[in-house]
Amino acid sequence: MKITDIRFGMLRVPLKTAFKTALRTVEQVEDVVVMIHTDTGHVGYGSAPATAVITGDTHGSIMHAIRHYIAPRLVGQEIANLNRITHAVQASMEKNTSAKAAVEIAVHDLWGQLYGAPLYQLLGGGEPAITTDITISVDYIDKMVADSLAAVDRGFESLKIKVGKDIGLDIERTKAIHAAVEGRALLRLDANQGWTAKQAVYALQTLEDAGVRLELVEQPVKAHDLEGLRYVTERVHTPVMADESVFGPMEVIELIRMRAADIVNIKLMKTGGISNAVKIADICGLYGVDCMIGCMLESSIGVAAAVHLAVAKSDVISKVDLDGPSLCRFDPVSSGVLFNESEISITDAPGLGIRAIEGLVAVDEPLA
């Protein structure tokens, strides 16, 4: 099975409610879909959103990077030589992790199709079912409480509460949600870099003193501020998770060396795909550092790949934030991963098992 061509499409899916974080507000998922064609007629699917505020990638940069830097190294390659392909993807250029991720996802989809097995089985196997949390966007307190109660009624037992806009309000937001759902859901906070280290310590100690037990706090300080992250980690009981601070394996090694955080959030769009995500899980496994598997606001194509990885690496990945599809009004993708609110399961379909993508708009430009 040899790669012959790489084509693009755009997939847009409206959200149930606006997705609001300290970094951005979004009304719909907008993914570049990558389709890798082969000489056997098999097509592999991958996708990437443009999370410019986190990765620096835009739809234009994703397609440009694939078209001009990645694709020329892949056309003609045998899918059976997976490591050679992922190495070529990673060596093609610096950064551009979303483009690399979309391509690696599609290549892994084909790898599964080549061997007639769902991807998670080739990555090491596991129980093909996981449970995700759901994100509660940062908003007025009443709206966040109502959204949290609705999520709990939908069966979510873990809420990822977005904060990081205003330290005083963030404390009130968290207290109000805690009071409303106490005992019915675990609470995770994600400040998306919105606090200073001192503010984070103040907020978390205030919540701890008030008896608000948090499962973890994610990325309280700026991405580049590893010292600040360590400052927080050393001063609070709440486990601290690094998200925007760590993209690839080298950054994770540095984070562990500095003891800057307790948990690592692995996202394919930050790692540049599955090969580096596996490396990060293995590094964290060696050092006994717990991991979350996360996603950007993205469609169920890329999230499906993350589900396969989470199942295969469940010894290290104990926390799941793969709620992209649950935040959408509908799922236009029929695949081997079934998203049913908090419960996600995988069928026996080979690769990612993608059968149809409704509303996919082809981007008709030649590769070169």
Ligand X SMILES: C[C@H](N)C(=O)N[C@@H](CCC(=O)O)C(=O)O
Annotated binding site for substrate: 24, 135, 160, 295, 297, 321, 323
Interface pick for ligand X out of 92, 192, 299, 314 (rule CB under 6 A): 192
| Residues in contact with 141: Cβ distance below 8 Å, sequence separation at least 6, in sequence order | 169, 172, 173, 176
316 binds ligand X (CB under 6 A): no
- At its nearest, how many Å lie between ligand X and the CB of residue 293? 11
The nearer residue to Mg ion, 59 or 270, going by C-beta atoms, is 270
270 binds ligand X (CB under 6 A): no
Compute the distance between CA of residue 326 and CA of residue 158 in angstroms, rounded to an integer.
13
Interface pick for ligand X out of 104, 139, 190, 251 (rule CB under 6 A): 190
Interface pick for ligand X out of 232, 323, 331, 350 (rule CB under 6 A): 323
Site string for ligand X, 28-67 (x = CB under 6 A): -----------------------x----------------
218 binds Mg ion (CB under 5 A): yes
Out of 2, 143, 198, 267, pick the active-site residue. Answer: 267
- Closest to 42 (Cα-Cα) out of 96, 102, 115: 115
The nearer residue to ligand X, 104 or 321, going by C-beta atoms, is 321
Q: H or E element: which one contains 13?
A: strand 3-20
DSSP bridge partners of 332: none
191 binds ligand X (CB under 6 A): no
- At its nearest, how many Å lie between Mg ion and the CB of residue 323? 12
CA dist list (Å): 277 to 69, 109, 252, 316, 360 = 21, 16, 11, 12, 27
Which bin fits 275, alpha (ψ -120 to 50), beta or left (φ > 0)? alpha
CB 253 within 8 A of CB 229: no
CB 368 within 8 A of CB 17: no
SS3 at position 367:
coil
User: Beta strand pairing status for 240-242 and 343-346?
Assistant: unpaired
Only one of the segments 61-69, 103-111, 294-302, 348-356 lies at the binding site for ligand X (rule: CB under 6 A); that segment is 294-302
Can 162 be counted among the known catalytic residues?
A: yes
CB 104 within 8 A of CB 272: yes
Residues numbered 179-198 forming contacts with Mg ion, rule: CB under 5 A: 190
- At its nearest, how many Å lie between ligand X and the CB of residue 241? 9
Can 267 be counted among the known catalytic residues?
A: yes
Out of 162, 270, 313, 319, pick the active-site residue. Answer: 162
Compute the distance between CA of residue 234 and CA of residue 229 in angstroms, rounded to an integer.
9
Which sequence positions are flagged as catalytic? 162, 267
Residues that bind ligand X (CB under 6 A): 21, 24, 51, 135, 160, 190, 192, 243, 294-297, 321, 323-324
